[in-house]
Structure 1
Amino acid sequence: MSPERTMTTSRPIRVGVVGVGAMGENHARVYSELRDVDLVGVADHDPDVARRVATEYGTEALEMERLLERCDAVTVAVPTHAHYETVSRCLESGVHVLVEKPIAETVEQGRKMATLARTAGLVLQVGHIERFNPAVQTVSELIDDLDVISLEAERLGPPIDRTAPGNVVFDLMVHDVDIVASLLDDDPESISAMGTDDGRYATTTMSFGDVVATVTASRVTQKKVRKLTVTARECLVEVDYLEQSVLIHRDSYPEYLVDDGQRRYRHESVVERPRVDNGEPLRHELESFVEAVRTGSEPTVTAEDAIDALETVKRIDALVSGEKPRRGREVEIR
């Protein structure tokens, strides 16, 4: 890494965004709001889009080469098929990168990107944004003290654009695959999976030793659901990603009551509501990235984390797409 790219002063970090579609524009918005950060420009294959976003957030629309000359760090939010070429170009220019998930189209590309960043001494963070959801961060602090039996994640809802052909395994399920692996600090030993409705609904079951994790993703469910349930011997933990809430159910017990001569049955439990410091996950993610750039520390979501998630979802997708609906296969991945 060249000396001018090393963050040894307190000057603002100079950042840019490559690709300012819906997600990239949000990155530009948050960068423009962060302290000690200077949004020096945005780039996009559509110059009109780049100019509109630049005007909205008080910066410049630049060609990519000029943007990289001005930046210490960039977000890459281009389509997945362009991740490898775009990220490599940024890293070769000595610029730190946060790239949206999945890290690349192939595991091999992801590994090459990781090697390139490591050799250059640059930060390569991957945008698995749910890691920065305050509710998930709260659970990650609890889980080490639990004897976990199972995890169940649901990411359901209708598509925003019903003409979009997005793959639910790569677009949606990858979030929860990464969350489960990070909470358990492990990779799955075996995977079974099935799908239906032309791959718009998929579910997988993964084993992590004595722990079982089930993850479901859907673009056909007429209600938006983003939930995680952790079953442990001590308690049941319910996480709502949308509400950014955590409920812990403990000491569940049955009880019979006598009311007006009639016996009634009820089941009670103690419910705890741990404090969750709510906030925008994207803001937490970009603050974390900027801190890693400034200090040279390892990012919260490393390239290796993202490569592991990509390997897992590729196995899941092969099982989902390789069989007729309602039939599943299992693969051992020891």
Structure 2
Amino acid sequence: MSTEHTLSTARTTAGVIGVGAMGANHARVYSELPNVELAGVTDHDADIARQVADEYGTDALTLEELLERCDVVSVAVPTHVHYDLVTTCLEADVNVLVEKPIAETVEEGRRMAALAEERGLVLQVGHIERFNPAVQTIAELIDELDVISLEAERLGPPIDRTAPGNVIFDLMVHDVDIVGSILDSTPNSITAMGTEDGRYATATMEYNDVVASLTASRVTQKKVRKLNVTARECFVEVDYLEQSVLIHRDSYPEYVNDEGQKRYRHESVVERPRIDNGEPLRHELASFVESVRANDKPEVTPQDGIEALQAVQTIDQLVEDRQGQKPATVLSEGDHDSDEREVEAP
């Protein structure tokens, strides 16, 4: 998938429901996209809605007024109200991009997906890292590799250090989606553990013969967003923040004689693919708008969002179950020989 999304000449009216930190960025990007008009914003806090509307030259509206004006909307509100708001938008024949996770429950996600399909509308899930140029680069390379393992780290304190929430749903969900999309698969088994306060979690996910290790943390005092891919041909480092990819090949460790002294030397060939860097949110919203204009399947489908939600719910359950117990594993059908506690796979 190219990082460039060329929008057609038809003008699309867009709106944002929920203009907190993320929603305000959606409003900014819609106001900048070519052939897109930011028709308005709405928020339960009228003062914030007016402030964002004034900043981006649009109107603060009621939900009903906004839906009357818009072809597309972004829904950037707490997860527990996704279902009601997305359903209201779809019933008003408005296409929706809903922030991750898709819904509070898998059943709600399935109902939303069914309604969008029934009404012939685009429902895209806001897994923004899919649109990171570095991720798109590794996605293009992965088919050429015999992958053994992936390791993702999403670490660092939030901007608001008092922010509540569980790192599994807030942070790890990004990497669950990325790994699933890169491997084009769902996990056969999951093992997980984490802290009681929900600020640190790790998960090991098996995809047939590939193992993915994910770590999410709000207690680590350094911001890290990385993905490492170990393949038989090479080792790939992806840095989400730097939007960079390094490919290490032909690694040669050896001892050499240097003036009578033996020393260790390790050389390798490092490739740095050219990446057209850019703002992932801009690529995401441009892709969404283009899917609507073309009446085409979005880059991140409701089913993608549902699969990511299923996985993080399982991870969260395993972490809860493990408190004070031995490690728990979710197993696929046919893998029930283990003595570890088993939970039916999603």
TM-score, structure 2 length as denominator?
A: 0.92
Contact kept? 2:165, 2:198, Cα under 8 Å: no
2:17 is aligned with 1:25? no
Whichever residue aligns with residue 233 of structure 2, its letter is E
Unaligned runs of 5+ in 2: 1-7, 334-346
Provide the residue aligned with 1:37 in structure 2: 36
Provide the residue aligned with 1:212 in structure 2: 211
Question: Which residues of 2 match residues 292-331 of structure 1 at below 5 A?
Answer: 292-324=291-323, 327-331=326-330
2:158 is aligned with 1:155? no
Contact kept? 1:288, 1:300, Cα under 8 Å: yes
Please report how far the alpha carbon of residue 10 of structure 1 lies from its aligned counterpart in structure 2 after TM superposition: 4.0
Provide the residue aligned with 2:49 in structure 1: 50
Provide the residue aligned with 1:97 in structure 2: 96
Please report how far the alpha carbon of residue 267 of structure 1 lies from its aligned counterpart in structure 2 after TM superposition: 1.0
Secondary structure of the residue that 2:322 maps to in structure 1? coil
2:323 is aligned with 1:333? no
Runs of 4+ that moved beyond 3 A: none
Question: Which residues of 2 match residues 62-73 of structure 1 at below 5 A?
Answer: 62-73=61-72
Contact kept? 1:167, 1:199, Cα under 8 Å: yes
Q: 1:72 to 1:333 in 2, by over 3 A?
A: same
Please report how far the alpha carbon of residue 322 of structure 1 lies from its aligned counterpart in structure 2 after TM superposition: 1.8
Distance between the aligned counterparts of 2:295 and 2:131, measured in 1?
19
Please report how far the alpha carbon of residue 165 of structure 1 lies from its aligned counterpart in structure 2 after TM superposition: 1.9
Contact kept? 1:253, 1:268, Cα under 8 Å: yes
Question: Which residues of 2 match residues 72-91 of structure 1 at below 5 A?
Answer: 72-91=71-90
Secondary structure of the residue that 1:89 maps to in structure 2? helix
Provide the residue aligned with 2:336 in structure 1: none
Provide the residue aligned with 1:4 in structure 2: none
Please report how far the alpha carbon of residue 331 of structure 1 lies from its aligned counterpart in structure 2 after TM superposition: 1.1
Contact kept? 1:189, 1:333, Cα under 8 Å: yes
2:131 is aligned with 1:137? no
Distance between the aligned counterparts of 1:125 and 1:169, measured in 2?
21
2:258 is aligned with 1:262? no
Question: Which residues of 2 match residues 143-292 of structure 1 at below 5 A?
Answer: 143-292=142-291
Q: Identity of paired residues, percent?
A: 72
Provide the residue aligned with 1:3 in structure 2: none
Contact kept? 1:196, 1:326, Cα under 8 Å: no
Distance between the aligned counterparts of 1:206 and 1:123, measured in 2?
30
Contact kept? 2:196, 2:323, Cα under 8 Å: no
Q: 1:325 to 1:294 in 2, by over 3 A?
A: farther
Distance between the aligned counterparts of 1:208 and 1:65, measured in 2?
44
Contact kept? 1:197, 1:325, Cα under 8 Å: no
Contact kept? 1:25, 1:53, Cα under 8 Å: yes
Q: Any idea what the Cα deviations from partners look like across 1:133-157, whole Å, max 9, x if unmatched?
A: 0000000000000000000000011
Secondary structure of the residue that 1:322 maps to in structure 2? helix
Whichever residue aligns with residue 43 of structure 2, its letter is D
**More deviation, 321-330/183-192:** 321-330
Distance between the aligned counterparts of 2:89 and 2:64, measured in 1?
9
**More deviation, 293-302/260-269:** 260-269
Whichever residue aligns with residue 140 of structure 2, its letter is E
Contact kept? 1:196, 1:325, Cα under 8 Å: no
Unaligned runs of 5+ in 1: 1-8
Q: Let me know the Cα RMSD of the aligned residues.
A: 1.2
Whichever residue aligns with residue 25 of structure 1, its letter is A
Contact kept? 1:199, 1:321, Cα under 8 Å: no
Q: Any idea what the Cα deviations from partners look like across 1:117-175, whole Å, max 9, x if unmatched?
A: 00000000000000000000000000000000000000011132232221000000000
Q: 1:326 to 1:148 in 2, by over 3 A?
A: farther
Distance between the aligned counterparts of 1:190 and 1:275, measured in 2?
35
Contact kept? 2:238, 2:245, Cα under 8 Å: yes
* Residues paired across the two proteins, number: 326
Distance between the aligned counterparts of 1:224 and 1:197, measured in 2?
22
Secondary structure of the residue that 1:29 maps to in structure 2? helix
**More deviation, 262-271/238-247:** 262-271
Distance between the aligned counterparts of 1:29 and 1:75, measured in 2?
12
**More deviation, 9-18/113-122:** 9-18
Distance between the aligned counterparts of 1:326 and 1:280, measured in 2?
43
